[in-house]
Chains A and B, each alone.
Chain A
């Protein structure tokens, strides 16, 4: 028996839609894009000889600039696939590879492109059709179905203006997981919500540049607060409406409503009487006197002969309204509490910063002034600098340590262990934790350290790839993220020429060859 494959043979789907190419084949998983492209490549060839010649020329030109672009991993396969008009595209590819795939696609030399969601977030890459291998993606925390908004962002790539009368979208139904088939509606695209988060930088920036009044404006007028205010208004409106209705309903009652001659009250009393006479309540203290009391009242007043019994319906309706009002009041309370959330977050962060010596009242202390220029893990990076580690340690080790800022290693990720001692960093984190800095504010991992360390020491890109399980694109992204951080730190370190020089030196050494930005 054939080895079970993780996906249905895409070559058959291509057969089905061969008159509707080029197609973007959306797949959630990098490895899958490669495997599927390989499968199609076994059976299909989309290019005429003259087109193959054009592809060959474009590839040769690109290789002249980046000689090793097809050397790593299994990328030689990609080159062969491109010659057949088939490609794949995902974040693990080196920037040079991504670029050539995009160029070939734009030149209409790729007929089926297997790609991840990022391709749809890019600029205009329209196709004749879009195929969804599945509608389930990993969003960093869990597997979930695509949102309508995400689906249409991708599906909307189908249909080239001026070329196609219609964009064709195909969603594959899996026999193993039929429940995961997506059904999407453009009319049900999700609303946009405010997602503001108060970071250390937010608090420092506000204290540094904005007046109390502006800070207040910020905390109360952000989109999320605005939306909550609107919902609150809606709720208040509903509450008033229900109240008014209740008032109106009261009109159905006559002046005898409160007296026992009203059938409603009589009914209620009779019910109570019945209950008290039951075996369970008969013996309870006070029961007998209450029974007597009720019997007395009932006999005292005659039951009114009601001609108009609307009050019965009204009473029922009022009860219902009361229930709804209760729910609305609960929602209102919740919403009022939520609306204050940003002010609370702001205060919390401000208190922490005050305790750590970043700010004093509205004044920014040296630590605060440094952190003001940082936008990732502000507190932890500042502490690394102010503990003297960055200045004391050799530059290559600093490069290694900074690569781990804000890095969360993947599950099966492997990178060579760095040949330096990073216990000092762990010790610093432990100290900070004791001082009450939450884990989220000092995300750091030693894992990517070796990459930046070796790259700083002039090792070849191949050497990095040989010493880790990451793909080219990921290695580039680790180093570029560090370059971004170094730039921020340089801005923060203007008053410290020694530190500034050191940081700049590291950045310039890192920013070279395969890792440098392309245009």
Chain B
């Protein structure tokens, strides 16, 4: 497969009568350096992380669990294992998510996993198979059920609160609180949260208002560690220490420029 290296910027830069850096748009576009083959995800049975194993064991034993782990560490897997077990036992599960868009996507995922008949979706503006064993809904809808349709929840063993740290959201937080306070006492809670410093406090609160024990499973390590770098205006990749220096330098320069500009304006005015 032909690849063209067509960036002739350098040559232009060297040209004597061209002062500015002009980039000539060539007919062929640039292509990235790409490995011939894409890395393939390791096959074979998926090794559970310790925190996943711990949380799964706890929910399978019927305990209230609050899991806090960074994004992308596979919290959903815990809910999936729980769903499998409950559906085998003929018990129901409600999965709530903070956003409508998220509910739709979770619904699609679960449907693929458990089949059309066994999965439902209820949001404010759509209801599909609302009496299914596993129903995905927004937290608002679940909160409403806790007030209005309590009998409907008789066969539901667990409620999963995805992204439970949204409790902090000034607009939506109320539904979470009301749902946690008023979910029927027979229902167990599985809360999935991003890492926040006061998970234990949240758990203590849930335990207190629901008068039940809540296990906290915390994972601080990311599945893939992050490396954060900064990019300078001159397109150099630098680390935090250098970035702080660079920012200081730039902002000093910026202030100077502004002073100068003001002074110039003043001079113009007086002269």
* In the complex with contacts A118-B101, A152-B71, A166-B224, A46-B240 CB distance below 8 A: no
**Among B123, B169, B178, B243, contact of A183 (Cβ-Cβ < 8 Å):** B243
B226 touches A155 (CB 8 A): yes
Closest to B98 in A: A121
Inter-chain CA distance A287–B251, complex, in Å, is 60
Of A123, A164, A483, A517, which is in contact with the most chain B CB atoms at under 10 Å from its CB?
A: A123
Contacts of A131 in B (CB 8 A): 231
Is B30 positioned at the interface, with any CB of A under 8 Å from its CB?
A: yes
Interface string of A336-374 (1 = CB under 8 A from B): 000000000000000000000000000000000000000
* In the complex with contacts A16-B235, A44-B29, A156-B226, A191-B250 CB distance below 8 A: no
**Among A157, A208, A480, A487, contact of B71 (Cβ-Cβ < 8 Å):** A157
Query: Considering the complex, which residues of chain B in the window 55-101 have a beta carbon less than 8 Å from any beta carbon of chain A?
Result: 70-72, 74, 76, 98-99, 101
* In the complex with contacts A123-B106, A171-B231, A178-B247, A193-B168 CB distance below 8 A: yes
* In the complex with contacts A168-B227, A194-B177, A196-B177, A179-B247 CB distance below 8 A: yes
A46 touches B31 (CB 8 A): yes
Of B42, B169, B225, which is in contact with the most chain A CB atoms at under 10 Å from its CB?
A: B225
Contacts of A411 in B (CB 8 A): none
A45 touches B29 (CB 8 A): yes
**Among B31, B222, B243, contact of A173 (Cβ-Cβ < 8 Å):** B243
Interface string of A147-163 (1 = CB under 8 A from B): 00100110111111111
**Among B109, B197, B226, B244, contact of A169 (Cβ-Cβ < 8 Å):** B226
B104 touches A192 (CB 8 A): no
Query: Considering the complex, which residues of chain B in the window 171-222 have a beta carbon less than 8 Å from any beta carbon of chain A?
Result: 173-174, 177-178, 181-182, 193-198, 201-202, 205, 208-209, 222
* In the complex with contacts A163-B39, A195-B170, A14-B32 CB distance below 8 A: yes
Contacts of A123 in B (CB 8 A): 102, 105-106, 109
Interface size, chain A (Cβ < 8 Å): 91
Is B18 positioned at the interface, with any CB of A under 8 Å from its CB?
A: no
Is B154 positioned at the interface, with any CB of A under 8 Å from its CB?
A: no
Is A400 positioned at the interface, with any CB of B under 8 Å from its CB?
A: no
Q: What's the nearest-Cβ distance from chain B to residue A206, in Å?
A: 9
* In the complex with contacts A171-B231, A197-B174, A181-B225 CB distance below 8 A: no
Of A14, A45, A197, A226, which is in contact with the most chain B CB atoms at under 10 Å from its CB?
A: A226
Q: What's the nearest-Cβ distance from chain B to residue A273, in Å?
A: 55
A195 touches B167 (CB 8 A): yes
Of A12, A178, A208, A209, which is in contact with the most chain B CB atoms at under 10 Å from its CB?
A: A178
Inter-chain CA distance A227–B200, complex, in Å, is 12
Is B124 positioned at the interface, with any CB of A under 8 Å from its CB?
A: yes
A111 touches B231 (CB 8 A): no
Closest to B180 in A: A223
Inter-chain CA distance A329–B181, complex, in Å, is 31
Of B25, B32, B140, B254, which is in contact with the most chain A CB atoms at under 10 Å from its CB?
A: B32
A194 touches B173 (CB 8 A): yes
Inter-chain CA distance A165–B227, complex, in Å, is 10
CB-based A-B contact count at 8 angstroms: 228
Is A414 positioned at the interface, with any CB of B under 8 Å from its CB?
A: no
Inter-chain CA distance A285–B29, complex, in Å, is 96
A175 touches B233 (CB 8 A): yes
Q: What's the nearest-Cβ distance from chain A to residue B25, in Å?
A: 7
Interface string of A10-29 (1 = CB under 8 A from B): 00111110110100000000
B230 touches A173 (CB 8 A): yes
Closest to A174 in B: B233
Is A167 positioned at the interface, with any CB of B under 8 Å from its CB?
A: yes
A126 touches B231 (CB 8 A): no
Closest to A373 in B: B148
Q: What's the nearest-Cβ distance from chain B to residue A189, in Å?
A: 6
Contacts of A178 in B (CB 8 A): 246-247, 250-251, 254
Secondary structure of the B side of the interface?
mixed
**Among B70, B125, B208, B228, contact of A171 (Cβ-Cβ < 8 Å):** B228
A43 touches B29 (CB 8 A): yes
Contacts of A120 in B (CB 8 A): 71
B230 touches A156 (CB 8 A): no
Contacts of A124 in B (CB 8 A): 72, 76
Query: Considering the complex, which residues of chain A in the window 180-215 have a beta carbon less than 8 Å from any beta carbon of chain B?
Result: 181, 183-184, 186, 189-197, 199, 202, 205, 208-210
Contacts of B33 in A (CB 8 A): 18-19
Report 12 cross-chain contacts, Cβ distance below 8 Å, ordered by A residue.
A19-B33, A131-B231, A159-B225, A159-B226, A166-B226, A168-B226, A169-B229, A195-B169, A196-B173, A221-B181, A222-B181, A223-B205
Which positions in A face B, CB cutoff 8 Å? 8, 12-16, 18-19, 21, 42-46, 48-49, 84, 108, 111, 118, 120-124, 126, 131, 149, 152-153, 155-176, 178-179, 181, 183-184, 186, 189-197, 199, 202, 205, 208-210, 217-218, 221-223, 226-227, 230, 375, 480-481, 483-484, 487-488, 511, 517, 519
Task: Give me 18 other A-B pairs in contact (C-beta within 8 A), A149-B165, A223-B202 excluded.
Answer: A13-B231, A18-B33, A44-B30, A44-B31, A159-B226, A161-B41, A165-B224, A171-B231, A174-B233, A197-B170, A218-B178, A218-B182, A221-B181, A223-B167, A227-B205, A484-B124, A484-B125, A519-B108
* 8 tightest A-B CB contacts, nearest first: A159-B224, A195-B173, A178-B250, A484-B124, A156-B71, A18-B32, A162-B41, A175-B233
